[in-house]
Structure 1
Amino acid sequence: MPIVLPLILLLCFFTHCTLCFSASKPQTLILPLKTETLPHGFAPHSTNKLSFHHNVTLTIQLSVGSPPQKVTMVLDTGSELSWLHCKKAPNLNSVFNPLASKSYSPIPCSSPVCRTRTRDFSIPVSCDPKKLCHATLSYADASSIEGNLASETFGLGLSTQPGTIFGCMDSGFSSNSEEDAKTTGLMGMNRGSLSFVTQMGLPKFSYCISGRDSSGVLLFGEAKFAWLRPLNYTPLVQISTPLPYFDRVAYTVQLEGIRVSGKVLPLPKSVFVPDHTGAGQTMVDSGTQFTFLLGPVYTALKNEFIQQTKPVLRVLNDPNFVFQGAMDLCYQVPMNRPSLPQLPTVTLMFQGAEMSVSGERLLYRVPGMMRGSDSVYCFTFGNSDLLGIEAFVIGHHHQQNVWMEFDLEKSRVGVAEVRCDLASQRLGLGV
């Protein structure tokens, strides 16, 4: 099946959903996940080294303010603070107007929220000339955003949450402004005290992303369905002492090894364990598209994958071509080939659980990139070292057709293979 990119995975409210949660007693809220193709020509022009960005994002629609304003936010399990664009700009299609809301309230520097609950921000908050709490956020793709903290009423389904803390942002830099213009902001879903899931008091949430068509599902609450096979759980890795390179509020799990078509890479388990600085943690991140591995592990996987695919694939021999700045294993595939050859399954081995990546999820067709009559496909694992990231990051491309449960009460992540398009149909969400 041809890959049409870039896409935005659009999370819309299902208006006929009868299951919902209230602020006082969380139950279950089920939302459909759909895909929307961006206008033709959005894809970046082909170059030898494409900039690192996310072609696909998970987004959710909700209401903010009094009276409510509809906003669209990127769902990001790798971030804490939720934020909205609050200043109109020519490149933004959607902004939140705090002046039009009666419930908007800026957070002063003297507030305990500003002084204590921002401790896990990578950049310390500051005090602006009006003595308001000012935050600056930066991301791995070199994007940054800044503005003031504020409290506001957020509405999700039939529930409203007054006093939700978020960032009302008025300036920043984006590495992909055209994509960012499609949304109003970002919803932080990690385990930090100011994340959306923490402030809403949600004990767990799940999502399932289809790789087959435009369907999928996001669920807040329990996921007890007869058709869903038992989940395998891996515990979250938690530390009490702050370390310079360890994100304490990320969904950190312990990667223990990688298997390629039955062959375990000959690597010591120590290469997967964070060092004394915290570098080397493994994070599950819905805000990142692909998966990135630290240099030694990436090199071992790359070499083994090349060895096992040598009979069926031709490597692109161009040392100057690095897709998205970190993916340097690419292949030339004839355009007239109806489908990719059978590829070796890559299995990520965690403590207590595994995640297998197979078929089309292993190779990504680079939009607009041709070598003669061949299309260019790149391996969907990248080298963290080339991005300057001191961590393993499991992106949402490799979470396709996997039921992903984030259990905050029991500090664990659960996984189970499932056809996510069928899961949506069984939940009555349709396509």
Structure 2
Amino acid sequence: MPPLLLHLLLLHFFTYNSRLCFSSPQPKTLILPLKTQTLPKPSNKLSFHHNVTLTISLTVGLPPQNVTMVLDTGSELSWLHCKKTPILTNVFNPLASKSYIPVSCSTPTCRTRTRDLSIPVSCDPKKLCHATLSYADASSLEGNLASDTFFLGSSGQPGTVFGCMDSGFSSNSEEDAKTTGLLGMNRGSLSFITQMGYPKFSYCISGRDASGVLLFGQASFPWLGPLNYTPLVQMSNPLPYFDRVAYTVQLEGIRVGGKVLSLPKSVFVPDHTGAGQTMVDSGTQFTFLLGSVYTALRNEFVLQTKPGLKLLDDPNFVFQGAMDLCFQVPMDRLNRPVLPALPAVTLMFRGAEMSVMGERLLYRVAGMVRGSNQVYCFTFGNSDLLGIEAFVIGHYHQQNVWMEFDLEKSRVGVAQVRCDLASQRLGLGP
């Protein structure tokens, strides 16, 4: 699924192994440092675009050109901005790359490997494979499929297919100035992870401005301990609202403190159209729940936090277009929030759980104050307000969780980990 909001995780590449053999069916493990970065101010393109994105820095082409790409487990086709405009300074120039090859309409790549893209490809007047990508924020991009050499560290993968997009760019110049494109990491045949040939990848996200880890390949470390796995939901027949190449897991319930929300399990199961799947998406900042589930969670959280949290009580304010539960929070002398003990919100999956606790339950709304208090909003939103027929688990709630995406065994593994310490143990932290 396309990114619902551009979020940011700045990933600077580091080669753990001196040589990476891309042609091998079992490439060597590659460990990279990962850092969260916040944009200077929130994006205002649409109400549900946030001010944090996940990006990865690498080089493309011969000679290599530096690019910065949004890391997105919810998208398949990777793409780069390939046209210079007044608002775009961070672009890829295909004319300067000796290894750049456009994809023609007659190739198997254009005819068969594009089957999972949401909009069918077409053939342009030059008989090149033309792709249109449409995202949930109503934006779209157009351009041609091409292949080039993508480098991780000093080792390159020639013939990597991507979209060279030359029209339909975002109107947010500040965001575009930081990124050259998007790196698709879902399970589709054209995704970057599939083309790389790795059977699995992992990441561990620290808090903002702290070091984390991105890892391609097997993660076997004594300090990591066992992961709890939840199987990916497979759907054999195509359904209009079900993304078959997303990392879809089965949400079975939600617990607030020690209380499980009183909801039938059927509300978490996709219906006959495929609507209602639960996706793990690094391209989304926060977590969004379908309306009935969100309302139940909202009501229980308000009940358990009375009277310690003071409601904002402003019916006209909805943060990012989908988060309508906000509070007035006093600050201490060091400008830190003074919060009562908050009940953990635990997402209960088949075979695994993910708990959100403490300050990760609330997000400060920059520049918004009420008297001497800052405004903080609940970090779960209502999918219905965005027009999204799905549950989406965003990267803000994946902080300090080791996330493993196992394509070979069709499962997602999770383990609670201090990601800054994990980074240090792997020799990447300060």
Q: TM-score, normalized by length of structure 2?
A: 0.94
- 1:123 is aligned to 2:119: yes
Partner residue, 2:341: 342
Residue 419 of structure 2 aligns with an amino acid whose one-letter code is: C
Residues 226-375 of structure 1: pairs in structure 2 closer than 5 A: 226-336=222-332, 338-375=337-374
Deviation at 1:118, TM superposition (A): 1.0
Partner residue, 1:380: 379
Contact 1:53 1:175 in 2 (8 A): no
Partner residue, 2:76: 80
Deviation at 1:50, TM superposition (A): 7.2
Contact 1:83 1:167 in 2 (8 A): yes
Residues 108-119 of structure 1: pairs in structure 2 closer than 5 A: 108-119=104-115
Deviation at 1:157, TM superposition (A): 2.4
CA distance change for structure 1 residues 28 and 63 in 2, over 3 Å: closer, same or farther? same
Contact 1:142 1:175 in 2 (8 A): no
Partner residue, 2:219: 223
Structure 1 CA distance, aligned partners of 2:295 and 2:393? 17
Superposed CA offset, 1:75-122 (max 9, x none)? 100000000000011212311100011111111122221121111111
Residues 194-213 of structure 1: pairs in structure 2 closer than 5 A: 194-211=190-207, 213=209
SS at match of 2:367: strand
Deviation at 1:14, TM superposition (A): 2.2
Contact 2:253 2:348 in 1 (8 A): yes
**Greater shift after overlay, 122-131 or 300-309?**
122-131
Partner residue, 1:182: 178
SS at match of 2:168: strand
Residue 344 of structure 1 aligns with an amino acid whose one-letter code is: P
- 1:418 is aligned to 2:412: no
Deviation at 1:141, TM superposition (A): 2.4
Deviation at 1:133, TM superposition (A): 1.1
Partner residue, 2:426: 427
- 1:152 is aligned to 2:151: no
Identity among equivalent positions (%) equals 83
Specify every segment of 5 or more residues in structure 2 that has no aligned partner in the other structure, as ranges.
Answer: 1-5
SS at match of 1:421: helix
Superposed CA offset, 1:35-91 (max 9, x none)? 34544xx3368xxx9711031111111111111111111110000000000001121
Partner residue, 1:3: none
Residue 399 of structure 1 aligns with an amino acid whose one-letter code is: Q
Contact 1:92 1:182 in 2 (8 A): no
Structure 2 CA distance, aligned partners of 1:99 and 1:106? 11
SS at match of 1:43: coil
CA distance change for structure 1 residues 212 and 126 in 2, over 3 Å: closer, same or farther? closer
Equivalenced residue count is: 420
Superposed CA offset, 1:336-368 (max 9, x none)? 475322100000000000000000100000011
Structure 1 CA distance, aligned partners of 2:285 and 2:382? 14
Structure 1 CA distance, aligned partners of 2:275 and 2:102? 35
Structure 1 CA distance, aligned partners of 2:121 and 2:293? 35
Partner residue, 2:400: 401
Structure 1 CA distance, aligned partners of 2:7 and 2:157? 31
Contact 1:210 1:421 in 2 (8 A): yes
Deviation at 1:210, TM superposition (A): 0.5
Deviation at 1:369, TM superposition (A): 0.8
SS at match of 1:152: strand
Structure 2 CA distance, aligned partners of 1:332 and 1:83? 41
Structure 1 CA distance, aligned partners of 2:147 and 2:46? 38
Structure 2 CA distance, aligned partners of 1:345 and 1:153? 45
Structure 2 CA distance, aligned partners of 1:20 and 1:245? 42
Deviation at 1:334, TM superposition (A): 2.0
CA distance change for structure 1 residues 407 and 313 in 2, over 3 Å: closer, same or farther? same
Match of 1:138 among 134, 137, 149: 134
Contact 1:20 1:29 in 2 (8 A): no
Contact 1:78 1:286 in 2 (8 A): yes
SS at match of 1:99: helix
Superposed CA offset, 1:364-402 (max 9, x none)? 000111122221100000000000111000000000000
Structure 2 CA distance, aligned partners of 1:353 and 1:205? 18
Partner residue, 2:10: 10
Partner residue, 2:54: 58
